[in-house]
Structure 1
Amino acid sequence: MLRFAPLLLLAWPLAEIALFIVVGRFIGVVPTLVLIVAAVLLGIIVLRQQGLGVLNRMRANVSTGTVPGEALFDGMVLAIAAVFLIIPGFMSDAIALALLVPPVRKWLYRALTRNVRVVQTTATYRTYPVNDTPTRIDAPSTIDLDDDDWQRK
């Protein structure tokens, strides 16, 4: 699949241009441009609104002590959908609209996480008893040096 990536990157814009031409011939140039601008505006609105919603859901998941995996995935998919809406083109808009449907996102989440195992760990803060008294060494507290044992620089 990875070896076909350059071909896909070349074919995608060509297919978008072909769809522009087909839709432009079918409904006209001005309605086609209005649809593209409306999709861009919708993408900006979705990106802004859903981003805040996902942050609130993640905060709620963390406060209840659950792993916010699905909320993170929803946020990522909604961000991808918003970017696809912002990119001009009808194929990218169709993919974006499909990603905006919650059952499609749930199906995609289940399909991608079917073989993933999440291990939840907790970090605990341990305090060790602090010994307030310094350890005593049975040695004199004053060190006596001869004149040739030290030098001043």
Structure 2
Amino acid sequence: MREKPLFKRGYTILFKLFAAFIIIPILEIYVLIKIGTYIGPLWTIILVIGTAFLGAFLAKMQGAQTMMRMRANIQQGIPPANDIIDAFLIFAAGLVFLTPGFLTDILGVLVLVPATRQPIKFWLLKKIDLWMRQGNVHVHRL
């Protein structure tokens, strides 16, 4: 497989950072303003705070279940690789709930629900596999 030139890889990373730090917050602000015009600013703030608490609670519950399943698998001699990926995704969803906004909350819920987390996990594993096959992973030894 042919590797992308360095300057194209740099633009891809730059675009992803631009999307994460500029486009997503602008979309969140737009949605917050739109919802605020319908239900009012106070109710919008209450809803944002409520979804943050609900998301944190769901992440805590899912994380605890995953840790118990991981512990049981380790005791039975089953490698916890699948559970580690679940734990990472649940942690990421919990972080997403800390950002105020409805779009990121929807993303967080999609990651927390096991039925929708499975395709996300499958996609992530494919990306990791592709990344490793392309030789983009460098192991540094001490």
TM-score (structure 2 length as normaliser):
0.73
Tell me, yes or no, if structure 1 residue 58 matches structure 2 residue 66.
Answer: no
Which of 15, 24, 34 matches 2:46? 34
One-letter amino acid matched to 1:92? T
Query: 2:13 maps to what in 1?
Result: 2
1:88-99 superposed matches below 5 A: 88-99=100-111
RMSD of equivalent CA atoms:
1.9
Structure 1 position 114, deviation (Å): 4.3
Partner deviation per Cα, 1:52-111 (whole Å, 9 max, x = no partner): 222111111111211111111111111111221221111111101111221211112223
Between 1 and 2, higher relative CO (CA 8 Å, sep ≥ 6) is seen in 2
The CA distance in 2 between the partners of 1:63 and 1:25, in whole Å, is: 54
Unaligned runs of 5+ in 2: 1-11, 130-142
* In structure 1, distance between residues paired with 2:126 and 2:32: 38
Instruction: Kindly tell me the number of residue pairs found equivalent between the two proteins.
Output: 117
Q: Deviations over 1:8-65 (max 9, x none)?
A: 1112211111111011012221221111010121132123322222211111111121
Distance 1:15 1:115, change over 3 A: closer
Counterparts in 2 of 1:90 and 1:115: CA distance versus 1, 3 Å: closer
5+ residue gaps in structure 1? 118-153
Name 2:134's counterpart in structure 1.
Answer: none
Runs of 4+ in 1 over 6 A off after TM superposition: none
Residue 88 of structure 2: which of 61, 72, 76 is its match?
76
1:85 aligns with 2:118: no
Residues 102, 21 of structure 1: alpha-carbon distance in 2 compared, 3 angstrom cutoff: same
Partner of 2:25: 13
Contact 1:19 1:90 in 2 (8 A): yes
Pair member with larger Rg: 1
Secondary structure, counterpart of 2:89 in structure 1: helix
